């Protein structure tokens, strides 16, 4: 039996048993898209792929060859009827192959692209920001930011995108403000957002293509959980945000709107999808928890001063 759920009634969602079913608005009917970065069913890209197809799109899924082998992308491909084309987002050759093969597989030019790729080998190797390995920093910037430029440049040179296409990348507020433990990814996200502005100008002027980034709340995914102190960051962010943290499903909803024709004049923006976090200074919930933090462990026993970490 399909039961309309009161909480979600206005949002066109239904509950069957325990599963929430998203009803389609056909926002992407007839559109063709490429989605980078679905590793497993926690990935934000995974949720975006599911929602895009629910909204009537045809998609190509892509990830590195290793991620395609190790992850569960084949399951998503089966579920969404998508073609999987492995590509390393840092390789221009791979990207050229990906965009031309995608146009062939989808039977026409591309209407939307999601860049959902990030990795910091410095973080993985527990190198702190004042002890970075520079070859690993190059990798972080290449995978997490310059790959966005590469895909935009390849798409433009191949003329693989339709007029008024929408290109999105996922970012985090540490691009603007300093967060303990976010390390060299903060620099990568600043660069990513800058690329969206610089390329957005050129691509918008010439083809009406929109280029934006969505700045998402902390989200439990493979990449998210790699951030130092992630549990605390997640809780802090949730307490600080009047609407609470935005989930991966909610991020997917926002991506769909940005891919749709409803946002044709939005470009070169960092769009905050974070429950209000980015405009907060202190919330009551945050302050209550902060007051509980004056514990001995945070105080230097000899000097009596607070340790800032």
Tell the smallest beta-carbon distance from residue 1 to ligand NAD (Å).
Answer: 34
Q: Is 216 a binder of ligand NAD (CB under 6 A)?
A: yes
Q: Long-range pairs for 42-46 at CB < 8 Å and ≥24 separation?
A: 42/220, 42/221, 42/222, 42/248, 43/116, 43/221, 43/222, 43/248, 44/116, 44/170, 44/216, 44/219, 44/221, 44/248, 44/251, 44/252, 45/114, 45/116, 46/76, 46/248
In this chain, which of 118, 161, 209, 211 binds ligand NAD, going by CB under 6 A? Answer: 118
Tell the smallest beta-carbon distance from residue 102 to ligand NAD (Å).
Answer: 14
Tell the smallest beta-carbon distance from residue 34 to ligand NAD (Å).
Answer: 12
Query: Distance between CA 268 and CA 277 in Å, rounded?
Result: 21
In this chain, which of 22, 99, 112, 172 binds ligand NAD, going by CB under 6 A? Answer: 172
Tell the smallest beta-carbon distance from residue 62 to ligand NAD (Å).
Answer: 7
Q: Is 223 a binder of ligand NAD (CB under 6 A)?
A: yes
Q: Taking contact as CB under 6 A, which single stretch among the options 4-12, 113-121, 124-132, 199-207 is the one that binds ligand NAD?
A: 113-121
Q: Within 234-293, which residues bind ligand NAD (CB under 6 A)?
A: none
For tokens 């891919």, name the residue: 259
265: phi then psi, degrees, rounded to nearest 5: -110, 15
The DSSP secondary structure of 82-151, one letter per residue, reads: -EE----TT-HHHHHHHHHHHHHHHTS-EEEEEE-----HHHHTT--GGG--HHHHHHHHIIIIIHHHHH
Query: Distance between CA 192 and CA 183 in Å, rounded?
Result: 15
In this chain, which of 33, 200, 224, 275 binds ligand NAD, going by CB under 6 A? Answer: 224
Q: Would residue 271 be called left, alpha or beta, if left means φ above 0 and alpha means ψ between -120 and 50 degrees?
A: beta
Q: Is 88 a binder of ligand NAD (CB under 6 A)?
A: yes
- By beta-carbon proximity to ligand NAD, the closer residue of 222 and 298 is 222
In this chain, which of 98, 117, 211, 255 binds ligand NAD, going by CB under 6 A? Answer: 117
Q: Is 209 a binder of ligand NAD (CB under 6 A)?
A: no
Tell the smallest beta-carbon distance from residue 183 to ligand NAD (Å).
Answer: 12
Residues that bind ligand NAD (CB under 6 A): 36-37, 39, 43-45, 63-64, 67, 88-90, 116-119, 143, 170-172, 216, 218-219, 221-224
């Amino acid at each position: 039996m399909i039961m309309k759920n009161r909480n979600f009634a206005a949002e066109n969602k239904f509950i069957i048993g325990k599963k929430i079913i998203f009803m389609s608005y056909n926002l992407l009917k007839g559109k063709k898209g490429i989605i980078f970065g679905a590793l497993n069913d926690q990935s934000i890209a995974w949720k975006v792929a599911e929602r895009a197809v629910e909204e009537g799109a045809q998609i190509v899924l892509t990830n590195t060859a290793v991620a395609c082998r190790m992850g569960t992308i084949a399951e998503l491909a089966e579920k969404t009827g998508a073609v999987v084309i492995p590509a390393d987002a840092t390789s221009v050759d791979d990207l050229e192959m990906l965009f031309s093969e995608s146009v062939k597989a989808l039977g026409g030019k591309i209407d939307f692209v999601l860049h959902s790729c990030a990795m910091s080998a410095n973080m993985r190797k527990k190198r702190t920001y004042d002890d970075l390995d520079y070859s690993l920093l190059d990798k972080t910037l290449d995978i997490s930011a310059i790959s966005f430029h590469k895909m935009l440049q390849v798409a433009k040179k191949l003329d693989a995108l339709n007029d008024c296409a929408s290109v999105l990348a996922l970012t985090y507020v540490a691009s603007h403000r300093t967060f303990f433990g976010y390390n060299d990814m903060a620099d990568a996200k600043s660069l990513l957002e800058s690329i969206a502005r610089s390329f957005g100008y050129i691509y918008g002027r010439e083809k009406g293509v929109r280029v934006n980034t969505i700045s998402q709340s902390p989200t439990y995914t493979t990449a998210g959980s790699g951030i130092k102190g992630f549990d605390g960051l997640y809780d802090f962010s949730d307490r600080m945000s009047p609407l609470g943290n935005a989930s991966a499903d909610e991020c997917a909803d926002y991506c769909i709107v940005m891919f749709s024709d409803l946002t044709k004049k939005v470009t070169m923006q960092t769009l905050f999808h974070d429950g209000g976090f980015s405009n907060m200074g202190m919330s009551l919930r945050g302050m209550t928890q902060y007051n509980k933090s004056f514990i001995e462990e945070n105080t230097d026993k000899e000097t009596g001063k607070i340790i800032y970490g």
